[in-house]
Chain A
């Protein structure tokens, strides 16, 4: 421990394609993305400088609490938020900056190259149309198929995601499906045009635990089948542990940690991530170990705390003048494992 603290020098994030099955090409490359909402009550800093890559064949997880900015980030990539203002940064899709695309090009990307799966399939599917029609619509828009051909492909795809009696089901409406089936139908809809990237926004949150595993399995199988990448957005660390290759943790719009799943789970570098991991009940371990929640609540994105956004809730924010004054930048903990804390894990972790 040192008396004088020098926060790690800011480093331009170096994200090499070195982990997991991410040996594929870089599909999505987000660089220092900053986006805000201008509201009557003030400026909401929804996304504050995030940087990550997603490779073909890779599952990339974005983890955080509600309001951390994870969904907003994804929707900004897709251009689904008409009211958001991107202040700086780039969103590179296969090398081209999506922010420069006009609406016509974006529409071709949406569903055609990048497809999104939403959280609640009951409200995300149109109640008055049959499931088959909604799934088939994708092929009609992007590949110009006729009604018949599109429906044929839709039924095949419904079969692919494991929906029994797909032809019969295609003629039904969403409310006639169970939760798990609906989510499978959403997945089917998303993969109809063989997109290169799937963005799944909390795909299992609205489902029963038993069904969650099934749906996740479908996702992984599909990814392999069509050789796409997946961005998995969730607040459930358990889901991430078994599935993802690389991940990033978000807090209050900031990216606080980035790395492989192993690095983040076993070599945790940021106090917030540690807090998250500590608050998960451990089913098999020591039962006398108390659950340690993170005290306090997430900050307002309009009036953010000065300095490090997490410092009011951080158990380790001990050095006056640093944590509360200076905004931390992402630091390399080693081998591309980034953390946005002024201190290295060696420094802040209790010995």
Chain B
């Protein structure tokens, strides 16, 4: 097992290196001189001296390979560089934005796991019932509505309408409440908002972000559970004298959850690091929106630095998912072949 982990880590390092390097190089294909952009854009006719200063400051004159080498040298010392657009080190930006993404992501993930698996399980057990048929349609639709549509619908019905029509305060998830609280004191145990005011900021984005994945998890869980229900060992369990609840919970559940766990596990990385759309819709200052903005601004250090962080988290989560899968399913032997 340890050998497997080490091997995976050794492979993932060059992969990440190549990925970030790829991003590094394609930015040089972009039209527009970075120094000019930093100075405010070509249409502002920036001072050539200013441009030269910027070039010197960021080393933008140097040949690409030199810049490339310098970049990686700095990274290895945990220095992700300085933002071109803002006067901030990328490390600081990361420290600023990461907690927000983690908080939102973890809540969305919790919803996905609890709601998704429950719905899937329920509709598989009560197959052919009206509830099941409705759930099937509902989850199909929910998996197809993009977050930038569902997000606004949620906002409209839970924030705009209440405010417009003067609903009581406690029922409002206010429009102005679509930005995240900035102070750390408003969070309890890092994840739990400390008061109802804070909850109001979190609820809608978490639901919107969780939406598609919850639907996918529910669908997969239903399919997986249906397959398990037809399995021979379920019949054996019944033949041993177990009642329906016991058969499902002791023998069916764990087998059915295997593919769902993988799906959700992989989603954890995305939901924390790449929730670009949700963060944009709700003005949530997280990593995803920071990266998207930086791409638009040609702010290379920010793009590379934050993406590097996200990619690493992604890779770690994937590895954890693979390793935990072996715990769930004893048939899988890590690193070796599978039983024929």
Binding site for A on B (CB under 8 A): 231-233, 235-243, 246, 250-251, 254-255, 328-331, 339
The minimal Cβ–Cβ distance linking B226 to chain A, given in whole angstroms, is 15
Given contacts A127-B329, A128-B330, contact A112 B237 (CB under 8 A): no
Task: Report chain B residues within 8 Å CB of A115.
Answer: 239-240
A31: interface (CB < 8 Å): no
Alpha-carbon separation in the docked complex, A128 to B329 (Å): 6
Say whether A110 contacts B241, CB under 8 Å: yes
Given A80-B238, A141-B246, 13 other A-B contacts at CB below 8 A? Answer: A78-B239, A107-B242, A111-B240, A112-B241, A115-B240, A118-B232, A120-B232, A123-B232, A124-B232, A127-B331, A128-B329, A129-B251, A137-B250
The closest CB in chain B to the CB of A128 belongs to B254
Task: Please indicate the chain B residues that have their CB under 8 angstroms from the CB of A109 in the complex.
Answer: 241
Give the number of chain A interface residues (Cβ < 8 Å).
Answer: 27
- Kindly list chain A residues whose C-beta atoms are within 8 Å of the C-beta of B330: 127-128, 173, 175
Q: Smallest CB–CB gap between B116 and chain A, Å?
A: 21
Q: Are B254 and A123 in contact (CB under 8 A)?
A: no
Whether A111 pairs with B232 at a CB distance below 8 angstroms is no
Residues of chain A from 90 to 127 with CB closer than 8 A to chain B in the complex: 103, 107-112, 115-116, 118, 120, 123-127
Complex: chain B residue closest to A119, CB-CB: B232
Q: Which residues of B contact A125 (CB under 8 A)?
A: 233, 236
Please give the distance in Å from A210's CB to the nearest CB on chain B: 20
- Cα A141 to Cα B339 in complex, Å, equals 32
Give the Cβ gap from B258 to chain A, nearest Cβ, in Å: 8
Tell which of A112, A124, A127, A189 touches B255, judged by Cβ atoms closer than 8 Å. A127
Do residues A126 and B239 form an inter-chain contact, with CB atoms below 8 A? no
Q: A252 in the interface, Cβ–Cβ < 8 Å?
A: no
Q: Does B235 contact A118, Cβ atoms closer than 8 Å?
A: yes
Of A118, A128, A142, A175, the residue contacting B236 (CB under 8 A) is A118
| Chain A, range 120-155, C-beta contacts under 8 Å to B | 120, 123-129, 137-138, 141-142
> Distance (Å) between the CB of B329 and the closest chain A CB?
6
Distance of A117 from chain B, by nearest CB (Å): 9
User: B240, B254, B331: which has the most chain A beta carbons within 10 Å?
Assistant: B240
List chain A residues, Cβ under 8 A from B331: 127, 173, 175
Asked if B235 contacts A124 (CB within 8 A), the reply is yes
Residues of A within 8 A of B339 (CB): 175
Determine the chain B residues whose CB is within 8 A of the CB of A108 once the complex forms: 241
Nearest CB to that of A107 among chain B residues?
Answer: B241
Q: In whole Å, how far is A92's beta carbon from the nearest beta carbon of chain B?
A: 20
Question: In the complex, how many angstroms separate the beta carbon of A86 from the nearest chain B beta carbon?
Answer: 18
Task: Give the chain A neighbours of B240 by CB distance below 8 A.
Answer: 110-111, 115, 137-138, 141, 189
The chain B residue with its CB closest to the CB of A186 is B236
| Interface bits A173-200 vs B (CB < 8 Å: 1, else 0) | 1010000000000000100000000000
Complex CA distance for A126 and B255, rounded to whole angstroms = 8
Residues from chain A with Cβ under 8 Å of B255 in the complex:
126-128
**Which residue on B lies nearest to A104, using beta carbons?**
B243
Smallest Cβ distance from B70 to chain A, in angstroms?
Answer: 51
A103–chain B nearest beta-carbon distance, Å: 8
A110-B235 contact in complex given A128-B328, A173-B330, A175-B339, C-beta closer than 8 Å: no
Residues of chain B within 8 A (CB-CB) of A128 are 254-255, 328-330
A248-B231 Cα distance, complex, nearest whole Å: 29
Taking a contact as CB atoms under 8 Å apart, the answer to whether B243 and A107 are in contact is yes
* A262, B246: Cα distance in complex, Å: 45
* Residues on the B chain within 8 Å of A111, using CB: 239-241
Chain A 33-70 interface mask (CB, 8 Å, partner B; 1/0): 00000000000000000000000000000000000000
CA distance A78 to B240 in the complex (A): 10
Q: Please state if A124 and B233 are interface contacts (CB–CB under 8 Å).
A: yes
B residues near A173, Cβ cutoff 8 Å: 330-331
**Can you list 22 A-B pairs, Cβ within 8 angstroms, ordered by A?**
A78-B239, A80-B235, A80-B238, A108-B241, A110-B238, A115-B239, A116-B236, A118-B239, A123-B231, A123-B232, A123-B233, A124-B232, A124-B236, A125-B233, A125-B236, A126-B237, A127-B233, A127-B330, A128-B330, A138-B241, A141-B242, A175-B331
CB contacts (< 8 Å) of A175 on chain B: these are: 330-331, 339
Task: Annotate A75-91 by CB proximity to B: 1 below 8 A, 0 otherwise.
Answer: 00010100000000000
- Closest chain-B Cβ to A28's Cβ sits at a distance in Å of 16
With a cutoff of 8 Å between Cβ atoms, the chain A residues found around residue B251 in the complex are 126, 129
Q: Which of B237, B241, B331 has the most CB of A within 10 A?
A: B241
Report the minimum CB–CB distance from B252 to chain A (whole Å).
Answer: 9
Give the 7 A-B residue pairs with the shortest CB-CB distance, closest first.
A111-B241, A123-B232, A110-B241, A111-B240, A126-B233, A173-B330, A116-B239
What residues on A are CB-neighbors of B237 within 8 Å?
Answer: 126
- A344 CA to B46 CA in the complex, in Å? 113
- Tell me whether A141 and B241 are in contact in the complex, defined as CB-CB below 8 angstroms, given that A127-B329, A173-B331 are known contacts: yes
